[in-house]
Each structure stands twice: as C-alpha cells, then as structure tokens.
Structure 1
C-alpha cells in the first residue's frame, strides 16, 4: 500500500493536538500538517465531558466545545482545518511507529510518512477489568474519556428504569460525575479506598468540606474500601456492586474513575522514558531527533521546582502543545526561545462549587475562610508552606481577580513569618500581592 507523506504529523487528536494546530497556523510554520486520531471528531475540550455533557438541561454538545474555546479562543470547527490546509485523519488508530524510518502504521494497514512527529497520544482510562475484577465487563459499567463514552452514558441515563448509581473512585471524575448524576435525579453512592476524597491534592480539612457538601446534597459516601466484583441480571446488566468490606450496593449504572495511564506503548524502546512518561526537555523534544511529545504523555522539567514531573491536566496539554510548536518554529529559523516554565494549575466545578489550585501541595498547610459545607455561600482556601515560603494555594468560590491573585502567590512564593498571621490574613495575603 502506498505511503501518504506529510511534513508534520500529530499523532493523537485530543486537546493538545488542537492547540498545536492553532499554534502551527499562528506561527506560519511552512509545510503540510496532518492530525491522526482514532476518535471520529475533530479535537475538542475534553473537560466538557465530565463538567457539562451529562447535564439534564443545557448540556454541552458539539460544535459548542471544539478547541480552542476552553481558553477563550476561537472555536476550531472541522472546516477550519481544511481551510488552513491541515488534514484531519479521523477514525484511524496508529498501531506501529518506526521512528528510525519516520513511519506510522494504522490498524487498517495504511502507512504515513513524516518529517517531524508530535506525539500527543494522551492517556487512557484504567479499567477494573485490567485487575481481573469479577464481572467488570458487565453492561452498565462506564468509563469516561472520549465523547463516544459520554454518548453511551447519556443513552444509559435516559433509558435507565432504575435510579441507582454507584461511582467507583473519589478523584476528579468521581466527584464531578457523582454531582452530575445527582442532578439527573439518581440515588448516588461514591466508593473509594482512601481516607478522604481527592487525596493527591486535598488535605483532610479541604476534603471534609466537599464530603460534607456532597452528603448534604444526598450523595452517600463509602470510604476505605474498594469494588471487588459485580453481579448482573440475565441480560448481562450490572445490578450489584460487591465491596471488599462485605457490603453489596444495588446499581443500575456504575461509573468508574480510578485513574489513567499515559499511552506510550507505540514508542517503547525508541525514546527515553522517565516517571511513566516520555522524557522531554524544556522545548518538548524527545531523545529522538525530530520527535516532540506534549500533554499527558510527557515527563518534563518543572523549572519552578527544579525537578521532572508528568502532569495530567488540560492546562498543561494546551501550553505544552503551544511550546512545542514555538520550538519547532525557532529551530527552523535558527533562533532560541525560553524553556517551558509551567505553574501547576488544577480546577474543578460541581454542583454550585468551583475551585482552583496553583502551585505545589507539599509542606505545612494553613486553612482559611468559611469551610462549613452547610454555609449558603462557602468560601475558603488553603496555603501550602515549605521552607518558609508559600508555594501552593487552593481557593473555593473565588472571583476571577482572586484566582489570579492566588496564581501570582504560587508563582512568586513569598516568605511567611508566622503561620498564625497567615491564617488570620487569609485571602487578603494573596490579594495584596
């Protein structure tokens, strides 16, 4: 079969691919670009799937959340790519990459040749069946990563004759989907093994607020145990979630959010890896000349903290993609650009809540504000202090100006003389920066 050749290929069609394409056009990089994606639609803002796609009213739908609307930019409709001379090759899964030969092979046997490759393969969900959990392949057990997953879940919500939902996992997906399923009038139970929700970011004090708030909304929370099996009816539909502590929960729909793993398999043994991701420098160049990697899949230098990290977040996906394209342009022109200097950023929205976090969540913590889950308008936050400096800030219910202020604090890392004084000042400490 004949090869199809491009000057540039982005493999993967998620958020990073869309932002890379926009930057490619903005910078006027010369050459033909293709995006190869196993999904059936052009790049879109993936966070919409858990934050708005499942709403019972006013739900998000394409074309509303194509990139780059998530950062306030122009929405890139499929026609945009054609107008800019970018080829969208959809419903095409790459199953083999030969970096030495500069070729990619698809599942249907097609070969694609490139000059420069940008790896944007992202992550895939971890499934309970990966661990051999009994009955984990039953109908009615859902994962959420792609729009196809969301469509299946929407259909199940609309068709469900029962109204019992069990959410397995207490992280981002667990918290956001427990809220949206409650909005869909389901009886929701969350199950997770940790002592509190979102343990990778939340302190016990922060988590106590969200757990209390969710319980006030009618969500049942079961901590310290895991799902070890599922029972189904004669049609193969899930009916019971069996927990390690011996409890059995009735369920019409089960949603699992227990993490994700980066999709690096195509490039094993061809590029250097570190901490579970493809190792890149501050320009997102891999160890293989002419191959860049961006987004969830990379381990990169975190300049602010003088260490390497892998970050799974839409903000990093957008910014790393833009940085890689700037590096490609600079390389062509024999110029240099600044290395990537990323400030970690995470956020979430659920029910009437909205929080943002900037920086690093290590060291001592100081909680401030109203963290009572029964308050009509709760507003609180937390500082993380290490070596006498504020290096991380969390804020629930902040205004755009206040969120900008806490980002500044996390970037500047101001010194702190007294934790008691910091607690008394609360949000004022950030707003004075």
Structure 2
C-alpha cells in the first residue's frame, strides 16, 4: 500500500482530536497538511453524552447532534467540516505500531503513515472484569461504556430487556450516571461498589451521603463494601445474576461495569518518558521527543496552580490541552513561544435532576454548607476545601451559571478562609464576594 505523508498527524479520534483540529484550522493549517487517524467509525464527538442524553428513553441525544465542539458552546464539526478544511479524517483505522524514531505509524491493515509532528490523543480504555479473572465476566449483556459502539449495544439491550433488572458495578462517574439512566428507563437498579461511599476520589462521606440517599429515594438499591466476584449465565450465554464477594446473589438482565480506565500509552512504551501512568510532557504538552506531543488523558503535565505534576482524566482538560498543544506547535514553527498551561481542575456530573460542579483541589479540611437534605426542593448545597488557611477547592450542587463561575473563581484565587465556622455560615455568599 502507498505510504501517506502528512505534516501533522493526530492519533486518536476523541474529544481532544476534534478540538485540536479546530485550533489548527483557526491558526491557518493548509489543506492536506493535517490527518486524524481514529479506530472509531465516526468523526470526533463529545464523549460525556454517552452516559447522559444518549441513554434517555425520550428525546435522546444522537449524532450528528453532539459532534465536537458543541460541548463547550462552539460550532458542531460535522464530517463535511473536515473535508471542507482539507483535513483528512481517517476513520475505522487502528494504529498498531508507532516508530517515533522514523516518524512512522502502521495500521492493523498494514498501511503506513509518515508525519513531521505527532499529537498523541489516544485517551483511555476501560478496565474490564475479565482483566482480573472474574468468573463469567465475558457473558453477553455485560457492558462497558467508552465509545459510541458500546452505547449503541447498551441501548439495544435496554430495549430488549425492557423493565428488567440491572446491576451497575462501580460507584464513580459511570456508576452514578448509568444507575440514573437505567432507573429513568424503568429498570430495577442495584449499584455495587467496594468503597465506603460513592465517588470516593472526590466526595467526602458527607457529600456522598446526599447522593446515596437521593438515589435510594429514586429506587436505586445501593450495596457498599463488596465487589462482583462472578456472573451466572443462561444457555444463550447471557448474564442472569451477579455473585457478590459477601455471598449475596443479585438477579440481572443487564450488567454495566464502570471500575475505572487506564491511559492508552502501549504504542509508545520505551520510546517516551513516562510519569504517574501517563506520557510526561512540558507545559506545552511536548514530550521527551521533539515534534511529539501528548494531550488529554495520556498526558502527565505540570499543573502550575499547585506546582505539581499530574495526569487529569476529564473532558475539559482534553479540550484545553489539545488547544494548548496546537498553539505551541504553530508558535514554535514561527520562532515564538506561548504562555504556559495554567489549568484549573474542573469536574462535573449530571444525573436525574441533579447537576454539580467542582473546581480546584479536594485536599485539607472540608466543610459542607446549604441544604443537603435529599428531600430538599432545591437540592442546593456546596462545600469548600481548606488547606493552609486558604480555600483550595469548591463544590456546588444545583448552582446557576453565575454561582458556578463564583466557585471557580474561589478555587483559582485561593482566598484566605478565615474560620471554618465563617465559611459554614456564609456558604455561597463567601464565593460571591471574591
């Protein structure tokens, strides 16, 4: 097969790839210079939709409705946008070998692609229970959610097993959002996780208590402190039940697993410097090899705000790191430099009629303010994290856009906290005056 050559290649076709393409276009990339190589069969899309609107029984999100860059309020980049801009969108093409020394990528179909500058935007892949040797974990109707193909299979199963029983394994983002989506689809839902409370990487026990009580009131059966140790199947190889380590057995027509993800860095092992499970980069997302950049989930980068090196798995960082890398590439070609990446960590979730946002760092003492009763009409409450006398993190459930901007500013500015009692009494008013 003929070798294809591009000035710029983005390997990976997720959120970061789409935002990088838009930034290249803004900065005047010439037709024919840029290629996106993706193993998925569709143009880059906003991945968070898969665990939210895509699964709704009515008014569900479907492509082309959530192609990038609508997730940040931008123009929707349909497949024809890439054609119009002279960007090669090479879909259904998995890269299986990357030789960074010769600047060559090889696909599963043995096609070769040469580049001058490479952006690694391969994202993450889910941990599967079969990776841990869990008995029966390869049964039919056990689902993982990462790509649109996964979501399509889950949607079909929801229709086929209508009003059935679902078990969600995991109590993080995927666990909470999919438990809500399945409940909205009128499934009998159990959510199982080993930790003492849900979303333990972000929530305190106090914050988690609100969501657990709220979900329980919505009919979700929450089972904490145990894991799935095996699955029963029928003659068709479909899952019938989930065996828990504590001895309980849960009937199941559908199982959805969300137990974390790992960055897809295998192609580059031994060729690039790594740190904290990702590819180490500078503040422009340049790796240890010139002309190779890494963005999104795979990048371990300097987090200026905390004078720390971190890897961040979140769509917001995927978007912004991609734009930063492209700006840096073009500036470098012009003999210029750009400001270092100054990222404020941001996480959010939407489920049922709830919607929370978090900014900053969840370290130090945490105080919860507002009405965190699950029976509350507004559900509005929040939290501040205080370390070394400063507010370093802020969380708000059911905030308005202006209130969410206020807590973001608090996390960025890190104002003196005063006393914890003062924060508790002032609540959201503290953020509003910063």
The answer to whether TM tops 0.5 is: yes
Tell me whether 1:331 sits opposite 2:332 in the alignment: yes
- 1:136-215 → structure 2 map (5 Å cutoff): 136-160=137-161, 163-215=164-216
Alpha-carbon distance, 1:400 to partner? 0.1
Equivalent residue number for residue 14 of structure 2 = 14
Tell me whether 1:5 sits opposite 2:5 in the alignment: yes
Query: Is this contact kept in 2: 1:162–1:252, CA < 8 A?
Result: no
Equivalent residue number for residue 53 of structure 2 = 52
Tell me whether 1:299 sits opposite 2:304 in the alignment: no
Alpha-carbon distance, 1:45 to partner? 0.1
Equivalent residue number for residue 406 of structure 1 = 407
1:204-250 per-position Cα deviation (integer Å, ceiling 9, x unaligned): 00000000000000000000000000000011000010000000000
Q: CA RMSD in A?
A: 0.7
Alpha-carbon distance, 1:115 to partner? 0.6
Alpha-carbon distance, 1:77 to partner? 0.2
Tell me whether 1:29 sits opposite 2:26 in the alignment: no
Query: Is this contact kept in 2: 1:361–1:392, CA < 8 A?
Result: yes
TM-score by length of 1: 0.99
Task: Write the distance in 2 (CA, Å) between the matches of 1:418 and 1:235.
Answer: 62
Task: Write the distance in 1 (CA, Å) between the matches of 2:421 and 2:153.
Answer: 50
Query: Is this contact kept in 1: 2:392–2:410, CA < 8 A?
Result: yes
Query: Is this contact kept in 1: 2:228–2:242, CA < 8 A?
Result: yes
Query: Is this contact kept in 2: 1:278–1:298, CA < 8 A?
Result: yes
Tell me whether 1:229 sits opposite 2:226 in the alignment: no
- SS of corresponding position for 2:376: coil
Query: Is this contact kept in 1: 2:69–2:77, CA < 8 A?
Result: yes
- SS of corresponding position for 1:225: coil
- 1:82-101 → structure 2 map (5 Å cutoff): 82-101=83-102
- 1:118-129 → structure 2 map (5 Å cutoff): 118-129=119-130
Task: Write the distance in 1 (CA, Å) between the matches of 2:332 and 2:119.
Answer: 15
Task: Write the distance in 2 (CA, Å) between the matches of 1:32 and 1:319.
Answer: 22
Task: Write the distance in 2 (CA, Å) between the matches of 1:7 and 1:98.
Answer: 16
Query: Is this contact kept in 2: 1:192–1:225, CA < 8 A?
Result: yes
1:268-320 per-position Cα deviation (integer Å, ceiling 9, x unaligned): 00000000000000000000110001000110000000010000000000000
Query: Is this contact kept in 1: 2:118–2:293, CA < 8 A?
Result: yes
Equivalent residue number for residue 246 of structure 1 = 247
Task: Write the distance in 1 (CA, Å) between the matches of 2:264 and 2:419.
Answer: 45
Count of residues in correspondence between the two structures:
433
- SS of corresponding position for 2:408: helix
Alpha-carbon distance, 1:51 to partner? 1.2
TM-score by length of 2: 0.99
Alpha-carbon distance, 1:374 to partner? 1.1
Alpha-carbon distance, 1:161 to partner? 5.2
Query: Is this contact kept in 2: 1:95–1:107, CA < 8 A?
Result: yes
Equivalent residue number for residue 390 of structure 1 = 391
Alpha-carbon distance, 1:162 to partner? 5.6
Equivalent residue number for residue 76 of structure 1 = 77
- SS of corresponding position for 1:47: helix
Task: Write the distance in 1 (CA, Å) between the matches of 2:173 and 2:419.
Answer: 33
Task: Write the distance in 2 (CA, Å) between the matches of 1:334 and 1:29.
Answer: 17
Alpha-carbon distance, 1:336 to partner? 1.1
Alpha-carbon distance, 1:322 to partner? 0.2
Query: Is this contact kept in 1: 2:162–2:187, CA < 8 A?
Result: no
Task: Write the distance in 2 (CA, Å) between the matches of 1:59 and 1:68.
Answer: 19
Query: Is this contact kept in 1: 2:163–2:188, CA < 8 A?
Result: no
Q: Which runs of 5+ in 1 are unaligned?
A: none
Equivalent residue number for residue 323 of structure 2 = 322
Q: Which runs of 5+ in 2 are unaligned?
A: none
Q: Which runs of 4+ in 1 moved over 3 A?
A: none
Alpha-carbon distance, 1:2 to partner? 2.3
Equivalent residue number for residue 44 of structure 2 = 43
Alpha-carbon distance, 1:376 to partner? 1.8
Task: Write the distance in 1 (CA, Å) between the matches of 2:409 and 2:35.
Answer: 37
- 1:254-333 → structure 2 map (5 Å cutoff): 254-333=255-334
Task: Write the distance in 2 (CA, Å) between the matches of 1:55 and 1:104.
Answer: 39
Task: Write the distance in 2 (CA, Å) between the matches of 1:329 and 1:407.
Answer: 30
Tell me whether 1:345 sits opposite 2:346 in the alignment: yes
1:308-360 per-position Cα deviation (integer Å, ceiling 9, x unaligned): 00000000000000000000111011111101000000000000000000000
Equivalent residue number for residue 430 of structure 1 = 431
Query: Is this contact kept in 1: 2:119–2:293, CA < 8 A?
Result: yes
Task: Write the distance in 1 (CA, Å) between the matches of 2:6 and 2:84.
Answer: 17
